[in-house]
A = this chain, B = another copy of it.
């Protein structure tokens, strides 16, 4: 038994390392999608396999990067030898996949969805010799991109869970949503608006880590903050900073004023709020009064109402900061995701399943995320139709924090996640809570 677990551990670790090497940012997961397709087809015989534009409602994609970025990652995937036919179906940022498996008396069984996300982050991975992916030689091959949030592990758990469920007594339909663009809150809505979600009776989603150690499972995560992305481009007028400073309309001054005052938006008595200006890119040279400044920001709230409070305040700050420095500003309200909670009935089954998994020594009923996730679109879509949803946390010892250059997962947690998810899915088909 231990031997089998070791073998499974090794197999899952290999799979994960393969994904870890090729991180691609949101909507650019060309090579990742191709690899998923090939793993799914090699290992299983899916009843249905929807890829790219067939896997989601393309018009509902949010936060799609510009053509140059898409093209650059597309070409990189082509250069890496991705099958041209498949690649061409993904062109323009239509990534991701939905795999469907039917088993047993599936017509009388439930449809259970499992959502895993697949995108990496625009961050350079640590090249420190102590960083395991360096030491063990599976560091990101894509300089400037990194699986710094564990989505490599999520995809791995998705495939591992399919394997386990197909070996189990599960009767019903299993749909695995390999969702792109979670990090930019970009893909959840597009999958939630597709037909694929419509018949899902139960939905599980999974996240590794989140400051929980290896061996700990959180049966139902809630407290997702609603989130909204904003991009603002300030446009002023350039001038020579020495010769004619008064002729400039300084986009960098507008930006700095906006940043300071966004962080100063009043806290709200009804609950948690957040604001972050995460990216600034402005100006062209030391001696030119900056003509342009761009910022990328996000607002969050414990409820959608609170998120909208922050968003409206931020919009006003951005507009008045522009006016203060005689600049224009164009705002792009980007991706948004609602808040959500896990259903207790499913959480109980997850807890039950986790309790029996070797290596799991702590099962928590509930935890609040404090962050945001666009899995909430899918959870909401299922819950609004009368279905039930649960977001599962699989602890892992991670040396660096999420989104940092030294993030890594303890691969021992992969099997724990797989067995917890597969166990929960089997219990769902049996108990129909």
Whether the pair B278, A287 counts as a contact (CB closer than 8 A) is: yes
Q: Is the CB of B278 within 8 A of A290?
A: yes
Q: Closest CB-CB distance, A336 to chain B, in whole Å?
A: 12
- A245 & B274 in contact (Cβ 8 Å cutoff): yes
Give the chain B neighbours of A50 by CB distance below 8 A. Answer: none
- A238 contact set on B, CB distance < 8 A: 401, 403-404
- Quick check: B278 and A280 within 8 Å, CB to CB? no
Cross-chain contact B278 with A281 (CB below 8 angstroms): no
Task: Other than A255-B256, A287-B371, give 14 A-B pairs with Cβ distance below 8 A.
Answer: A123-B288, A242-B369, A243-B269, A243-B402, A245-B267, A246-B268, A253-B261, A256-B257, A257-B260, A278-B290, A280-B280, A280-B290, A281-B282, A287-B372
| Contact of A44 with B by CB under 8 A | no
In Å, the complex CA distance between A276 and B236 comes to: 15
In Å, the complex CA distance between A239 and B287 comes to 31
Closest-by-CB residue of B relative to A317 is B324
Compute how far the CA of A395 lies from the CA of B348 in the bound complex, rounded to whole angstroms: 41
- Tell me the minimal C-beta distance from A307 to chain B in angstroms: 11
When the two chains form their complex, are residues B324 and A320 in contact, meaning their CB atoms are under 8 A apart? yes
B267 with A274: CB separation less than 8 A: yes
Contact residues of A between 277 and 304, Cβ < 8 Å to B: 277-290, 293, 296-298, 300
Q: Contact residues of A with B, CB < 8 Å?
A: 121-123, 183-184, 210, 225, 227, 229, 238-248, 250, 252-253, 255-257, 259-261, 263-264, 266-270, 272-274, 276-290, 293, 296-298, 300, 309, 316-317, 320-321, 323-326, 369-372, 401-404
Given A269-B243, A277-B252, A278-B241: A284 touches B401 (CB 8 Å cut-off): no
Cβ B274 vs Cβ A401 within 8 A:
no
Which of B225, B244, B252, B283 meets A401, CB within 8 Å? B244
Chain B residues with Cβ under 8 A from A266's Cβ? 245-246, 248, 250, 263, 289
Which residue of chain B has its CB nearest to the CB of A239? Answer: B401
Chain B residues near A320 (CB, 8 Å)? 320-321, 323-324
CA distance A123 to B266 in the complex (A): 23
User: Which 8 pairs, one residue from A and one from B, show the smallest C-beta to C-beta distance?
Assistant: A263-B264, A241-B276, A242-B371, A256-B259, A243-B371, A320-B324, A279-B283, A278-B286
